[in-house]
Amino acid sequence: MRTILKFFSIAMVLLLSSCSSGGDSDPGPDPNPDPDPNPTPTTVTYTNTISLVISSNCISCHGSTPTNNATISLNTYAKVKTAVESNGLIDRISLPQGNTNMMPKDGTRLPQATIDKFITWKNNGYVE
């Protein structure tokens, strides 16, 4: 019995010391926790995103005075917002390449990531 007890306590000591020796290399609580792996993305606003896409891809026809037979102008926040709400702007940019109604007309379909930004902008309530 004494031998078994002795063996048991040696085994426990070895077990504990192997644990604590593993812990020796542990620097303790991380002083610099990893950055949030899912940081909140910058809000899509008219100013930081939408207006830039419109300027590069739409204003040539949808300027303050529409040209090339365009029907509406898209040169202000209010006009772009109205076009999304009432003129199917997102539907038009989402049409497949080659569809005659796709915008930019006769141009290259916007990258899907850019189209998604219009959808986010709409869903977030048209942040200016």
Determine the straight-line distance between the first and last CA of the chain, rounded to whole angstroms.
Answer: 81
Residue in 49, 51, 57, 94 binding ligand HEC, rule: CB under 6 A = 57
44 binds ligand HEC (CB under 6 A): no
The count of residues interacting with ligand HEC (CB under 6 A) is: 23
Using the minimum distance from each CB to ligand HEC, give the nearer residue, 10 or 85. Answer: 85
Verify binding: residue 115, ligand HEC, rule CB under 6 A. no
Residues 97 and 95: their CA atoms lie apart, in Å, by 7
**CA–CA distance, 90 with 80 (Å, rounded to integer):** 11
Closest CA to 61 of 79, 46, 73: 73
Q: How far is the CB of 38 from ligand HEC (least distance, A)?
A: 30
> Binding to ligand HEC by residue 90, rule CB under 6 A?
no
62 binds ligand HEC (CB under 6 A): yes
According to the binding rule CB under 6 A, does residue 65 interact with ligand HEC?
Answer: no
Tokens describing residue 111: 């990258």
Candidate segments 7-15, 23-31, 34-42, 54-62, binder of ligand HEC by CB under 6 A: 54-62
Are 50 and 121 spatial neighbours (Cβ–Cβ below 8 Å)?
yes
Burial of 62 (0-12, 13-18, 19+ CB in 10 A): buried
Residues of this chain that bind ligand HEC (CB under 6 A): 57-58, 60-62, 68-72, 83, 87-89, 92-93, 101, 103-107, 110
